[in-house]
Amino acid sequence: MSSGNRFSLVSLFLGIALCRLTHGNQVVLLDTTSVLGELGWKTYPINGWDAITEMDEHNRPIHTFQVCNVMEPNQNNWLRSNWISRQAAQKIYVELRFTLRDCNSIPWVSGTCKETFNLFYHETDEAHGVKFKPAQYTKIDTIAADESFTQMDLGDRILKLNTEVREVGPITRKGFYLAFQDIGACIALVSVKVYYKKCPFTLRNLASFPDTVPRVDSSSLVEVRGACVDHAEERDTPKLFCGADGDWLVPLGRCVCSVGHEEIDGSCVACHPGFYKAYAGNIKCSKCPPHSFSYGEGAAICRCEKSFFRADKDPPTMACTRPPSPPRNLMFNLNDTCLMLEWSPPSDTGGRRDLTYNVQCKRCGPEPERCQLCEEELRFLPRPLGLTNATVAVVDFSAHANYTFEIESLNGVSDLSSFPRQVAVITISTDQSGPSLVGALKKDWASPNSIALSWQQPEQTALPILDYEIKYYEKEHELLSYSSTRTKAPSVIISGLKPAAWYVFSVRTRTPAGYSSYSPKYEYETTGDSSDMASDQGQVLVIVTAAVGGFTLLVILTLFLLITGRCQWYFKAKMTSEEKRRTSYQNGHVPFPGIKTYVDPDTYEDPTQAVHEFTKEIDPSRIRIERVIGAGEFGEVCSGRLRTPGKKEIAVAIKTLKGGYVERQRRDFLREASIMGQFDHPNIIRLEGVVTKSRPVMIVVEYMENGSLDSFLRQHDGHFTVIQLVGMLRGIASGMKYLSDMGYVHRDLAARNILVNSNLVCKVSDFGLSRVLEDDPEAAYTTTGGKIPIRWTAPEAISYRKFSSASDAWSYGIVMWEVMSYGERPYWEMSNQDVILSIEEGYRLPAPMGCPVALHQLMLHCWQKERSHRPKFTDVVSFLDKLIRNPSSLLPLVEDIQSLPESPGEDMDYPMFISIGDWLDSIKMSQYKSNFMAAGYNTLDSVARMSIEDVRRIGVELIGHQRRITSSVQTLRLQLLHEQEKGFHV
């Protein structure tokens, strides 16, 4: 067909708005719709593709290439783009928009007209100019139209525009050409767009993440470390993962605004004057505390006003304070031996609570300006400095003296103030009594417990000496206590002292006018000789008696407290977790003695407590996320690696809780971890730990290379030996035995909730489902409002929510059936309602094809209506162990009825189908009724003898249907045999 005969399609495109999606994550390398000048693409040969440029209503060019040599055979027309730089792309996307003419709508072209064209590319580091060698080009794909148009469409001006996108990669050279090969079609190429995808620059958690090009391998992610925005600093390393489609996934870590800055709309903004922020973190700037201010922007701390201070240990959030005013109402009380000073606290504490007092003593002679400090001479009780009570006792003062006491109030900022201190002052004269001092105190002798002292009597006294008072104390315990004794004579024997101890003595006289001041202090030591054994023993006896008495008292007191209930808290605390265990025994489960029992996290008032108790917190820096492997109800599930110091790095699966969750979702999410963390068994998925202290919240479990059992079996249909399958079932049963021994009822045991590792070890997973059945796509609402996976659930659990280990045993039977049928759907496409009804009527799943009789019998045993008749998991494990030890027991298949070892149990409730039609209805194969009838199969007996060849021969073509019918035939055979054995005639 000559170019003159070509359809002029361009005009049809005029006025069509080419609606383009511009995604933020696409980087466009070429878009023919936005090229304003000539495109300059090459065509080979010259009379093949035709470039047509027309203008749209905005006077922008529309570049179209068309070719329509449908009448001429052996077409090979090439159109080559200009060289396109790949920039950062590793994988490119080519989006083509074109129309294609339906060959049937063009008369006389059959044989020559084609409805496809080919897309090629060629990578080079530079442009080749006009050189074009088709052999250098690699084919991307043959492009066919989803919709081609006819002459009639043309007449009606109906345009059927096709859009096709192809991925090409990895691209490694600097650029590439695209080429379009026409082999005899009628095509108009309306636009070509070439782009690559990137995860666009983004700000997340105060960190910026640059434009990132995804990996070519669509299942692996690029880990990108974010840079904190200005005035922010890292908390946990901020990371994002760039997915193949240019989406950012799984944000980890974060930055926080530095001191003096707060977060506003994703950036860190300086605090305004009058505000401050002292710590880096997700907190807002605060108003300056009282008596402080900030003038500039971005204050980390507010400065104190004049005369106000902040002590070293004061937090920046605290108001500035000042020293206190002086104490008020200072008074004294003097008696013979003691001067009590008392005062009231200051009227202004300066805004602080750390108020103390210092006492200073001055002794002044007749000229007041000649005062000297006298603290050394006196004793202050409890001490002269740092008093916390507004009182002090002064002893050992002289009788004829004027003392001036200055009491100063202080607080934590007193030392910072340069203001002169203000004190309360009192002057006291002790000149109240007459007699003067006695002379020196001499030691006459000493023993281990006694010291004899004597002194000179004063020579002349105005008043008669009534007696002497001797004050003494053990030097080591100076401030604790002292003793005194009186004597009329100028000598005394002080006894009851400790051996080899230093004592301090002083003495004063008493006359009718009162006491003299004390003599200076004298220090004497008792001897170390322990001749005074009797008294020492006496002391020991006293101590022992006191100790025994004290202990007895303690015992009595404890008993008393117990009886009066004061110790109840102790017992409560002790019993709480035990009680929790008790309340956790589900459905009257009595745990085995010595076996740990499961504690329901819901029995904790605070569920985080359960998380703490049963899980380990993992530092997120130990986790490396590698790829997304699925999506759970709460967020993505990823695979990755976990490092533990001193241990080998291990593969893990990481469940994440996506952002924006509410507290209830976090609790439900972590609930599973609190449950899993209580288990430790090779057939239960192992919890490695949780991340709760940083975002995102994660649950980290061991990685199971082969994923969930149902899909694993579907992908490997027929690949395993019966022994391997029984090995998997044994593992699941062993895990379930452990759970039931712990008192845990799973409620959603199904092959989809079993995970398989690289050694084919099966582990039970998906816990915490009493709530989270929401998460199971199989769970459907029952008439009683519960959400239950009907096909896997025992009748009593469906009808009145009676979940127990026995209902788990029913589900286990279904899992057996799923395993032996390589992931077939239980009860196939029957509706949930039909499943419930047929079970109620006694129907049970037939043995899958190739299923050993022994295993189908075990399944039937698990599906007994009466739940107490179902096997316990411990029975299941030992039964399977026996089969594994004796593999010949697995040889008789259900289809091989001659060698049945024994008939099914007495109370096995097999359905008896009255007619072939009923039977086919029950297995949803009603469409083959006529095939059976036409082939002469009109009794159940004859059907029971059918082989798979027979099933094929009567016209059942679909393999799935052949399988379903054959496995049901096997069960039918088994039932008939059973009935015959029981004496029925069929």
Which of 106, 249, 701, 835 binds ligand ADE (CB under 6 A)? It is 701
List all residues 6 or more positions away from 370 whose beta carbon is below 8 Å from its beta carbon: 364
Q: Active-site residues: which are they?
A: 748
**Least Å distance between CB 826 and ligand ADE?**
22
| Residue 780 annotated as binding site | no
> Is there binding between residue 634 and ligand ADE (CB under 6 A)?
no
Closest distance of CB 756 from ligand ADE, Å: 9
Q: Does 250 bind ligand ADE (CB under 6 A)?
A: no
936 is in an annotated binding site: no
Pick 653 or 690: Cβ nearer ligand ADE: 653
CA distance 560 to 554: 10
Nearer to ligand ADE, 654 or 849 (CB): 654
Is 655 annotated in a binding site? The answer is yes
Max CA pair span of the chain = 159
Q: Least distance from C-beta 655 to ligand ADE, angstroms?
A: 7
Binding range to ligand ADE, per CB under 6 A, among 212-220, 606-614, 703-711, 806-814: 703-711
**Gap between the Cα atoms of 301 and 295, Å rounded:** 11
223 closest CA partner among 252, 201, 200:
252
Nearer to ligand ADE, 514 or 632 (CB): 632
Find the shortest distance in angstroms from Cβ 610 to ligand ADE: 21
Interacting residue with ligand ADE among 10, 127, 629, 761 (CB under 6 A) = 629
**Comparison of 466 and 637: residue with beta carbon closer to ligand ADE:** 637
Nearest CB to ligand ADE, comparing residues 703 and 827: 703
- Angle at CA of residue 558, ends 557 and 564, nearest 5°: 85
Binding residues for ligand ADE, rule CB under 6 A, total 11
Nearer to ligand ADE, 520 or 630 (CB): 630
Return the residue of 127, 637, 884, 948 that touches ligand ADE, per CB under 6 A.
637
| SS3 state of residue 577 | helix
Q: What pairing do the DSSP bridges indicate for beta strands 261-264 and 232-242?
A: unpaired
Rounded Cα gap, residues 937 and 947, in angstroms = 12
Q: Is 635 annotated as a binding-site member?
A: yes
Angstrom CA distances, 909 to 47, 503, 532, 842, 965, stand at: 80, 101, 99, 6, 21
- Considering only CA atoms, which of 612, 570, 603, 605 is closest in space to residue 585? 603
| Cα gap 145→104, rounded to integer Å | 14
229 is in an annotated binding site: no
- Is there a binding annotation on residue 628? no
Which residues ranging from 729 to 768 are in contact with ligand ADE (CB under 6 A)?
Answer: 755
Containing H/E element for 977?
A: helix 959-981
- Closest alpha carbon to 508 in 435, 459, 400: 435
Question: Which of 615/805 has CB closer to ligand ADE?
Answer: 615
338: its two tokens: 């003691």
Residue of minimal Cβ distance to ligand ADE: 653
Cβ 226 to ligand ADE shortest distance, Å: 27
CA distance 237 to 255: 8
Length of the chain as a residue count: 986
On the question of a cis peptide bond just before residue 458, with omega within 30 degrees of 0, the verdict is: no
- Closest distance between ligand ADE and the C-beta of residue 719, in Å? 20
850 is known to lie in a ligand binding site: no
Smallest separation, CB 757 to ligand ADE (Å): 8
With tokens 């082999």, the residue in question is 183
- Cβ at position 867, least distance to ligand ADE in Å: 30
- Contact in structure between 403 and 427 (CB atoms under 8 Å): yes
Asked if residue 703 binds ligand ADE (CB under 6 A), the reply is: yes
What the block records as the tokens of 950 is 């027979």
**Residue placing its CB nearer to ligand ADE in the complex, 713 or 830:** 713
Pick the binder of ligand ADE from 653, 670, 762, 916 (CB under 6 A). Answer: 653
Say if residues 23 and 93 touch (Cβ distance below 8 Å). Answer: no
Q: Pick from 274, 707, 795, 911 the residue near ligand ADE by CB under 6 A.
A: 707
Measure the CA angle with vertex 682, ends 678 and 685; round to 5°: 55
In 10 A of CB 468, how many CB atoms?
23
Please indicate if the annotation marks 574 as binding a ligand. Answer: no
- Give the binding range for ligand ADE (CB under 6 A) out of 15-23, 159-167, 421-429, 701-709: 701-709
Q: How far is the CB of 708 from ligand ADE (least distance, A)?
A: 7
User: Beta partners for 122?
Assistant: 177
Q: Which member of 192, 330, 638, 704 binds ligand ADE (CB under 6 A)?
A: 704
| DSSP string over 419-465 | SPP-EEEEEEE-TT--------EEEEEE-SS-EEEEEPPPS--SS--
Measured distance CA(530)–CA(795) in Å, rounded? 90
Q: How many CB atoms lie within 10 A of CB 876?
A: 25
The gap from C-alpha 247 to its chain's centroid, in whole angstroms, comes to 23
Using CB under 6 A as the binding rule, the residues of this chain from 674 to 693 that contact ligand ADE are 685
- Provide the β-strand partners of residue 763: 755
- Three-class SS state of 567: coil
β-strands 42-44, 77-80 pairing: antiparallel
In the complex, the smallest distance separating the C-beta of residue 630 from ligand ADE, rounded to whole angstroms, is 5
CB closer to ligand ADE, 224 vs 704? 704
Of 40, 134, 315, 630, which lies in the binding site for ligand ADE, with binding defined by CB under 6 A?
A: 630
Nearest to ligand ADE of 250, 494 (CB atom): 250
Under 8 Å CB-to-CB from 583, ≥6 apart: which residues?
A: 600, 603
Backbone angles phi, psi at 338, to 5 degrees: -140, 140
**Binding site for ATP: what residues are annotated?**
629-637, 655
Which residues contribute to the site for ligand ADE (CB under 6 A)?
629-630, 637, 653, 685, 701-704, 707, 755
